[in-house]
A and B are shown apart, each in its own frame.
Chain A
């Protein structure tokens, strides 16, 4: 079947007098890894729940593989898998029994099970705990088992709501590899995250704020859209330096990042422009370097501008 994997037209959801999702219109192509980012209350979870057919839109349409999920959720569901923030594990079943249960539920063919389970165990590193009851796993391990249960079948469209919540960096690397592998097999993946370094791994990202689209593009284009230049100023007195920089003309923003201050300068200003003010304040600078703005810098800037 041709056409986009997902199409939103004026998708809207109100809860009483709050408009959680406000006339969203965009498409996700087949085989795309698509990220949804935004501050708290931006509408990320509400959007995913409507795409999954578990919440009805107030207005507008969401289509998944051409099927209107608002009016025909049952027809759309075989084409998609959805992992909510709180995913149901059977706490009185073991790790392996949970995986088998979901594999049965999704009718994963026997021929594919062995390879898929071993791939998922490589990600989760839970194979030594196959026999442990899910209720007795640590929080991060439960999250990894939930993800594994969701990934045990390969649907056409995979919707993941904050999948890396509480997952350690090593497993997070593996998870993103699995997502890329699924995309390479033609699966369309839509993932929400609060971590912008993760969003950088997506093909395209939509930035939501208060239910509306602030930006939608590839991470690279979003980074290129940031006006001004970013410099990292390294100093032993990062906090004091940040406070000085925030008051300086030509400085659009200044944020702490470890022992460095990431400083966004107006277009055209040289990287060492803010140094004199730091010198006057008696702050010794160890190093100044021009850096590429991160997606997080873009996010801070767009959300900040939208809320002014």
Chain B
């Protein structure tokens, strides 16, 4: 395989901190031009993996190549080749929009007519022309986010790493941001994104799920959904929180969670499970107004896969 086809190639990548194995022999490839989602519980090893892939942390063992460079021996080359945007959007708050762009351009050696072209591209993409002389601390969070994205792309990297890019950003700004990301992927940029939000995972072409330092699943969202073999019942019930309590520990019930105002109940068997659920609810003086088998949400998939691995262990 060539680096053009796979901007990220990772083999048995491992990182220990003392006795603790934060990332445990992880292997995967990221395809060129795909939006690759990176999920997992807090402490699963996501951030440690991203730090190794972006040249910020040396692996203990294993191999990895990012944008053609070795993550063990060519960390500085990796850093210069990629785009990276963290959840804290490392912008300089007392500098203007233009000054931030120029500062990042300087760091990445973008000068002259190339700088003119990239400056225009960033202001067009982020729609910040009118705000270009404002200091960034005055800007709404969604605007800062688009500026940070532009700064991360100033040197036209082949791959962009986004670490929880939309935490705390409102839905309107979030949808707009994902439209931009989608457009970049269509334009050939590979996007590697970590997130806790399953609605964002829906935008990804493939999803990698980490738990306890290991990669436990890697597939397209649709294929992952099909992997959940246990039926999921969606139940509407007047007092959903009490219903959760009533259904905990019922034989044949694997998991109960609130999903909006409904419940999602994972059962071993749909028919037996429905009966068990109905009688447990009746025993608590509750009635389900609606109960049906539904396609698992990505959140159900996430919880099911983590549970199959013995649950989450934070670290």
Which positions in A face B, CB cutoff 8 Å?
A: 38-42, 85, 125-126, 128-129, 138-141, 143-144, 162, 165-173, 176-177, 180-181, 183-184, 194-197, 200-201, 219-220, 239, 255-259, 295-296, 299-300, 303-304
Per-residue CB proximity of B17-44 to A under 8 Å, as 1/0?
0000000000000000000000011111
Q: A171's closest neighbor in chain B, by CB?
A: B42
Inter-chain CA distance A126–B312, complex, in Å, is 11
Q: Say whether, besides A166-B196, A219-B261, A257 and B171 are in contact (CB < 8 Å).
A: no
Once the chains bind, are A181 and B241 in contact (CB under 8 Å)?
yes
Which positions in B face A, CB cutoff 8 Å?
A: 40-44, 47, 87, 140-142, 164, 167-175, 178-179, 182, 186, 196-199, 202-203, 221-222, 240-242, 244, 257-258, 260-261, 299, 302-303, 306, 312-315
Q: Say whether, besides A138-B47, A180-B241, A256-B178, A168 and B40 are in contact (CB < 8 Å).
A: yes
Q: A129's closest neighbor in chain B, by CB?
A: B314
Most A-side CB within 10 Å, residue of B172, B257, B299, B314: B314
Which residues on the B side are within 8 Å of A219 (C-beta)? 260-261
Q: Say whether, besides A166-B167, A219-B261, A300-B175, A239 and B302 are in contact (CB < 8 Å).
A: no
Inter-chain CA distance A184–B11, complex, in Å, is 50
Which residues on the B side are within 8 Å of A141 (C-beta)? 42-43, 314
Inter-chain CA distance A295–B43, complex, in Å, is 30
Cross-interface CB contact of B169 among A40, A138, A170, A220, cutoff 8 Å? A40
Inter-chain CA distance A167–B40, complex, in Å, is 10
Inter-chain CA distance A172–B202, complex, in Å, is 18
Cross-interface CB contact of B306 among A170, A239, A296, A299, cutoff 8 Å? A170
Which residues on the B side are within 8 Å of A173 (C-beta)? 257-258, 303
Which residues on the A side are within 8 Å of B171 (C-beta)? 39, 194-196, 296, 299-300
Inter-chain CA distance A258–B186, complex, in Å, is 14
Which residues on the B side are within 8 Å of A258 (C-beta)? 202-203, 221
Once the chains bind, are B41 and A197 in contact (CB under 8 Å)?
no
Inter-chain CA distance A171–B208, complex, in Å, is 19
Chain A min CB distance to B19 (Å): 13
Q: B257's closest neighbor in chain A, by CB?
A: A173
Which residues on the B side are within 8 Å of A176 (C-beta)? 258
29 A-B pairs in the complex with CB atoms less than 8 angstroms apart = A39-B170, A39-B173, A40-B140, A40-B141, A40-B142, A40-B173, A125-B313, A128-B314, A138-B43, A138-B47, A140-B196, A141-B43, A162-B168, A166-B196, A168-B312, A169-B41, A170-B302, A170-B306, A171-B41, A176-B258, A177-B258, A180-B241, A181-B241, A239-B186, A256-B179, A258-B203, A258-B221, A300-B172, A300-B175
Which residues on the B side are within 8 Å of A300 (C-beta)? 171-172, 175
